[in-house]
Amino acid sequence: MYFVDRSRIEEILNYMDSILNEVKNSKPNSYLENLGFERAVQVLIESILDVGNMMIDGFIMRDPGSYDDIIDILIDEKVLPAEEENNYKTFIRLRKKLVNEYTNSNQEALNSVFHDNRAVLDQFSKHIREYLDNELNVANAFSNEKR
């Protein structure tokens, strides 16, 4: 039987959705707004990676070897559609700049990557919830079988 902490996943997805809604048309105009936008993007990336890892662990999928591998596994397991692979990977690759190269931030590139991938990011929660609904309902159907 799987152990999937759906309430924790939902908490992260709801937070992600609220951030996406907050920054949907964001075009930071000040240093402070840029810092806030960078933080929002970083939290979105961490959310995708955290939820991805929880799905992989909870449904006993193969172990990821990198951040890109998390996306590969979610695609292989039909959690995310294959046509969105490059969008997620491009967005997640911003993490290195935000975490390790934060003194050299390129605000225009960050804004561009975010807005170019916004439509796909908006679908992440939907894909996760649909997979959870389908898989957990199947697991529940088997656990409630009458013998």
Catalytic residues: 95
Per the document, the length of the chain is 147
94 with 41: CB under 8 angstroms?
yes
118 with 97: CB under 8 angstroms?
no
* 126 Cβ contact list (under 8 Å, min separation 6): none
**Amino acid found at 39:** R
